[in-house]
A = this chain, B = another copy of it.
Amino acid sequence: MSWNSFGRVFRFTTWGESHGPAIGAVIDGCPPGLSLSEADIQPWLDKRRPGQSRFTTQRQEPDQVRILSGVFEGRTTGTPISLVIDNVDQRSKDYSEVAQAYRPGHADYAYDAKYGFRDYRGGGRSSARETAARVAAGAVARLVIPEVSIRAWVSEVGGDAAEALDAAEIDRNPFFCPDAAAAERWEKLIDNARKAGSSLGAIVTCEANGVPAGWGAPLYAKLDSELAAAAMSINAVKGVEIGDGFAAARLRGEENADRMRPSENRDSPHFLSNHAGGIAGGISTGQPVRLRVAFKPTSSILTPVETITRSGETAEIATKGRHDPCVGIRGAPVVEAMMALVLADQKLLHRAQCG
């Protein structure tokens, strides 16, 4: 079953802890013959990489990926692709206090309850550092679905929503914000939160264009079900919406109906709206696939909070160390990667069953 694997035919497994020697991913089921080198992966890792602005953790990780298998003379061979990223900037001394007390909002207590003990250095396996391995795997997934373009952006920080949706703007600010005015506001919001020893939540929106009708399948491997599982597996995520999501629960049937008209392309009708987020009955409709993901505020905060120790004594803990004041921001490249991973898998699955 594999707790640390995802996907069915295009399947990846990640391993590694925040303060171990390295993290990595093994991709199994990648089609053969795709052109692949580290240069295809590195740019996506660089987008997620920490330490690039004062709005993310100051941990300096170059996140250089190495391909150890599955590629020969520049092309994928169809055998497992092993990706490794060395950890170079661990500072384990920061975490001594965490070894003894549970940080509220973190996995500390749950891991101890489950496993009896835990690697407390930087959160161990529960650290968002693992998402670098997803981003690397996602870069390979993108090669499997050249017909699809995927774009994620941060649509809300600390309750303040972006209004404009200017794709060109997304990469111009450190927040993946598609609205220049909002980006300015967020800069202040995040600075204030950071200085106050607090943190903020965020909402990430992700859209995939070019997904043909027919990917996904009833009933327990629906495309939306896979996307929900993928998104909810990311650290700090607490909510997922497809298309209108919770807002759809407030529409009337005739408002929510995505009406159709004939188009020149018979395979792809003209839809008058996309409340459904490009998925009906668990199967893509040919419209853009749209996903919204809610990230809670970073649990690691300098503000001291009441908690207990491993031995059950009362305590107070302030999480020092280096942390993102708003984890949702660096969540954007991770959501993109998960979208790519799900779609690559679904493309291959569709091909398996329907030729």
> Contact between A115 and B33 (Cβ–Cβ < 8 Å)?
yes
**Which residues of chain A from 151 to 173 have a CB within 8 Å of any chain B CB?**
156, 158-159
A139 at the interface (CB under 8 A from B): no
A180 at the interface (CB under 8 A from B): no
Quick one: which of B72, B80, B115 contacts A32, CB cutoff 8 A? B115
Q: How large is the interface on A (under 10, 10 to 19, 20 to 34, 35 or more residues)?
A: 35 or more
Bound CA span A351–B353, Å: 9
List, in ascending order, chain B residues with CB within 8 A of A117's CB. Answer: 32-33, 72, 75, 77
Shortest CB-to-CB span from A212 to chain B, Å, is 8
Shortest CB-to-CB span from A33 to chain B, Å, is 6
Which of the listed residues A233, A284, A305 has the most CB atoms from chain B within 10 Å of its own CB? A233
A224 at the interface (CB under 8 A from B): yes
> Contact between A232 and B239 (Cβ–Cβ < 8 Å)?
no
**Which residues of chain A from 131 to 158 have a CB within 8 Å of any chain B CB?**
156, 158
Quick one: which of B125, B231, B259, B285 contacts A218, CB cutoff 8 A? B125
- For A267, the closest partner residue in chain B by CB is B113
Bound CA span A231–B257, Å: 21
Check A248/B77 contact, CB under 8 A, given A13-B13, A217-B3, A257-B104. Answer: no
Quick one: which of B31, B107, B222 contacts A282, CB cutoff 8 A? B107
List, in ascending order, chain B residues with CB within 8 A of A126's CB. Answer: 218, 281
> Contact between B107 and A280 (Cβ–Cβ < 8 Å)?
yes
Stretch at the interface among A40-48, A56-64, A296-304: A296-304
Bound CA span A292–B198, Å: 27
List, in ascending order, chain B residues with CB within 8 A of A212's CB. Answer: 113
A188 at the interface (CB under 8 A from B): no
Check A306/B259 contact, CB under 8 A, given A239-B239, A242-B232. Answer: yes
Check A328/B249 contact, CB under 8 A, given A77-B124, A296-B256. Answer: yes
> Contact between A113 and B202 (Cβ–Cβ < 8 Å)?
no
> Contact between B232 and A228 (Cβ–Cβ < 8 Å)?
yes
A35 at the interface (CB under 8 A from B): no
List, in ascending order, chain B residues with CB within 8 A of A68's CB. Answer: 15-16, 20-22, 24, 84
A336 at the interface (CB under 8 A from B): no
- For A213, the closest partner residue in chain B by CB is B113
Which of the listed residues A15, A203, A219 has the most CB atoms from chain B within 10 Å of its own CB? A219
Shortest CB-to-CB span from A164 to chain B, Å, is 20
> Contact between B239 and A241 (Cβ–Cβ < 8 Å)?
yes
Check A198/B248 contact, CB under 8 A, given A114-B283, A228-B240, A352-B9. Answer: no
> Contact between A269 and B225 (Cβ–Cβ < 8 Å)?
no
Bound CA span A218–B29, Å: 10
A54 at the interface (CB under 8 A from B): no
Shortest CB-to-CB span from A296 to chain B, Å, is 4
Check A125/B219 contact, CB under 8 A, given A113-B286, A296-B251, A296-B256. Answer: yes
Check A116/B32 contact, CB under 8 A, given A256-B297, A260-B102. Answer: yes
Given A72-B119, A78-B354, A225-B230, list of 11 further CB < 8 A pairs?
A: A4-B80, A26-B26, A32-B117, A78-B353, A113-B286, A114-B213, A125-B218, A222-B232, A251-B297, A256-B297, A261-B308
